[in-house]
Amino acid sequence: MRKLLEVLRLRYELKLGYQQIGRSCAIAVSTVHKYLKRAEAASVAWPLPEDWDEARVEAALFPETAAPRKPPDAARALPDFPSMHQQLREHKHLTLQLLWEEYRTANPDGYRYSHYCHLYQRWRSKLDVVLRQEHKAGEKMFVDWAGATIPVYDRHTGVAWQAPLFVAARGASSYTWAEATRDMQMEAWLRCHVHAFEHFQGIPALAVPDNTKTGVTKAHRYDPDLNPTYYNFAVHCGFGIVPARPRKPRDKAKVENAVQVAQRWIVAALRQRKFFALEELNGAIRELLGKLNHRPFRKKDGTRASVWEAIDKPALKPLPMEPFDLSEWSRARVNIDYHVAFDANFYSVPYNLVHEVVEIRSTRTTVEILHKGTRVASHLRSRERGKAVTQDEHRPKSHREHLEWTPSRMVHWAESIGPHTARLFERIMADKPHPEMGYRGCLGIIRLAGKYSPPRVEAACERALLTGACRYKSVESILKNSLDQTPVASPPPTSTPPHDNIRGAEYFE
């Protein structure tokens, strides 16, 4: 699926240039140009109508065309230089001569050995070339977690826990923000962004995070998957996200330098101080941060604060009017018991979604479950562990009816037949380790009333109580053999054991 909606949003809503849009969407600048040109030709305006989705936009911009173009005639095949370089690094006995022979076997009209080596050496000489990044005013904010942490002590036990340090730096001015947090979870990540925006007094056009899970769900060199919560936060605030490539620290050299500076001028400066609260630590960080931002540059005039005031600040967009509704997104597959597992608990969904993949949107108080963009369930969030949160309407009808069976309901049902039937039901359920184990027998007796008649079942239950045969099969046998119409003989009197039998007397006392 082409990233048409994101290209249109970044161009017409955020007013970004073609190169910025290409970096944000991981596509070529020519592709951005083609998308926008096709949108103009198809009269597709922004914002889109409410009923337009990605598929409809693609159908408008890319209607069915004729047969695909024929591939251009290939000239002499170039060697696969990255593969050659990787193989030479992994196999110490491998030579260029052997690689060239394999290349000529696959490409008989390929380059000769001398030119083959020349091309490879020329390609390899360009590997360490570093691009000098030119940062425009108000364009980028680089964010990352510092490697160093700062200990915070408990006042009562004296045990320390390590507080992570969040660092944000502006691209054009290097103006820096740092903040210690309780953890590195999504809530702390977004809160630090909000505090950084307030410190910078505006919103940048782009944010460049590392491939942390709070920023990128799945890292990829060309097409990373952004964290849905972070993406929604970016849409709410009005900035784009351009993650750094995996294992490419030069993509975010600005924040790498800011992290190093923060560790030297903040973490190291606080090494001899002892903090007992996170607020106390952040107060000390803000004092040192003011000194850092007003420290004069060594190789140019001014300070981080002065350059930010003159260049970055006027180019920033205003802060959003409404705060962001913090919610986390995740995915899960519905289990056979029509529940999804989330945060050590289980939440119900309609039973017809068993085995389907659903999205979970959670806040501090609620858990919403969506299927293909439609909300199918909403629950209050449980803070317990292992608890099943279930709505009755999510159960199948048979499950709801089964859960409505209770011992009192069974006895009340039996009273419609007669008092002896109700007593027999009580006896059947009392004889079981759990009342539910006697439900089937009771239901079978109720069904016998339809086959024979309620008076006969009542008489059969009376006979079963007198004889002690308190089972469904006994009642069925009584009715089948018409014993319910035969009077029951009185049970013989129980003989009293002789008193001279000491052992027996002790037993019956």
HEC profile for 248-311?
CHHHHHHHHHHHHHHHHHHHCCCCCCCECCHHHHHHHHHHHHHHHHCCECCCCCCEHHHHHHHH
State how far the Cα of 181 lies from the Cα of 443, in Å rounded to an integer. Answer: 61
Q: Could you give the residue ranges of the DSSP H alpha helices within 67-217?
A: 81-90, 96-106, 113-124, 186-200
Ramachandran bin of 255, using left for φ above 0, alpha for ψ from -120 to 50, beta for the remaining angles: alpha
Instruction: State the pTM of this model.
Output: 0.48
- The angle at the Cα of 201, spanning 196 to 205, to the nearest 5 degrees, equals 75
* Beta strands at 357-362 and 366-371: parallel, antiparallel or unpaired: antiparallel
Secondary structure letter of residue 317 according to DSSP: B
Q: What is the pLDDT along the chain (509 residues), one digit of tens a residue?
A: 467 888 888 888 888 888 888 888 888 888 888 888 888 888 888 888 877 877 788 888 887 543 344 444 346 788 988 888 878 877 768 889 999 999 999 998 889 999 999 998 888 877 655 444 556 777 888 888 888 899 999 988 889 999 999 999 888 788 899 999 999 888 899 999 999 999 999 999 888 888 787 778 776 666 677 888 888 889 989 998 888 766 555 555 555 777 888 888 888 889 889 999 999 999 999 999 999 899 898 877 889 899 888 888 888 889 888 888 777 778 899 998 899 999 889 999 999 999 999 999 888 789 999 998 899 999 999 888 888 898 988 988 877 766 666 788 788 888 889 999 999 999 988 888 777 778 888 888 988 988 899 999 999 999 999 888 888 999 999 899 988 888 766 555 544 444 444 333 332 23
Nearest to 182 by CA among 203, 161, 210, 201: 161
In single-letter form, the type of residue at position 406 comes to T
